[in-house]
Amino acid sequence: MSLLEIKNLHARVEEQEILKGVDLIINPGEIHAIMGPNGSGKSTLAQVLAGKEDYEVTEGEILYKGEDLLEMAPEERAREGIFMAFQYPVEIPGVSNVYFLKAALNAIRTHRGLEEMDAMDFLVYVREKMKVVKMDEALLNRPVNEGFSGGEKKRNEIFHMSVLDPVLAVLDETDSGLDIDALKIVADGVNSLRSEDRAFLVITHYQRLLNYIVPDVVHVLIDGRIVRSGGKELAFELEDKGYAWLEEPLGAGEPVGA
């Protein structure tokens, strides 16, 4: 069974249709990249997967582990293993990063029938994970994202991901605004989490992230539809030619599943 199966997904925000029939299949262990010009619907797809209420699904369905994902509340999706690294992570003043993560992890553990982790065990566990993303320990005790630089925020998202151990991780333009060093750290974090059971959906505007996170499949999203899918070489082609050559009226376009 595939991990995620999106069929003919249509979604809109305030009357405006953004996704116009997306089909996508992701299997465990795969890394899929979604590329596309601004406004093509990349982030909308991520938000719909995470369950953001502003996005209304008007047609189609999403099966996650064979279940109807759209019936699940955002926190249920998270507890079932869907993680989204936000493009713009919010700040939560007065709530320390470590306290927040412990609450999150224990909500997930409880859902999975595991015992809650106590403060001591959690700290040991978290320190281990921090090494992966080369996080400064000071950021643990600072309020969630408050006063973090752009790079720190993105790194913090990858740190959250490694702590929460997701089944499907959606990275929404995690590379935007990162310099090359930060980009490498983020990519290293993702690569270290690659496993047979875990899948990634990497949303990006630029090809350069895919130099470091090598995808199994690349999809091109234009005007709310996946107009082309291919191997990692498709990303290089896009880097050379841009998107314009794909922006032709559909009909010829072949929506290809992975």
Beta-sheet strand order (sheet of 67-68) = 16-26, 4-13, 55-64, 67-68
**Given the complex with other proteins, which of 89 and 220 has the nearer CB atom?**
89
SS3 127: helix
Nearest approach, Cβ of 12 to other proteins (angstroms)? 12
* Min CB(97)–other proteins separation in Å: 11
Q: Least separation, in Å, of the C-beta of 126 and other proteins?
A: 14
Q: Which C-beta is closer to other proteins: that of 154 or that of 228?
A: 154
Of residues 86 and 200, the one with the C-beta less far from other proteins: 86
SS (H, E, C) 155-224: HHHHHHHHHHCCCEEEEECCCCCCCHHHHHHHHHHHHHHCCCCCEEEEEECCCCHHHHCCCCEEEEEECC
- Alpha carbon distance 255, 53 (integer Å): 27
What phi and psi values does residue 81 have, to the nearest 5 degrees?
110, 5
DSSP state of 231: -
Where on the chain is the footprint of other proteins (CB under 8 A)?
50-53, 56-57, 70-79, 83-84, 86, 89-90, 92-95, 100-101, 103-105, 107-108, 111, 143, 160, 164
Q: Least distance (Å) from other proteins to the CB of residue 138?
A: 18
Closest CB to other proteins among residues 142, 184? 142
Which residue lies nearer to other proteins by CB, 74 or 242? 74
Residue 206 CB burial class (10 angstroms; 0-12, 13-18, ≥19): middle
Q: Which is nearer to other proteins, 63 or 104 (CB)?
A: 104
**CB of residue 11 to other proteins, shortest distance in Å:** 10
Residue 153 Cβ vs other proteins, minimum distance, rounded to whole Å? 12
Residues 6+ apart with CB under 8 A from 134: 155, 185
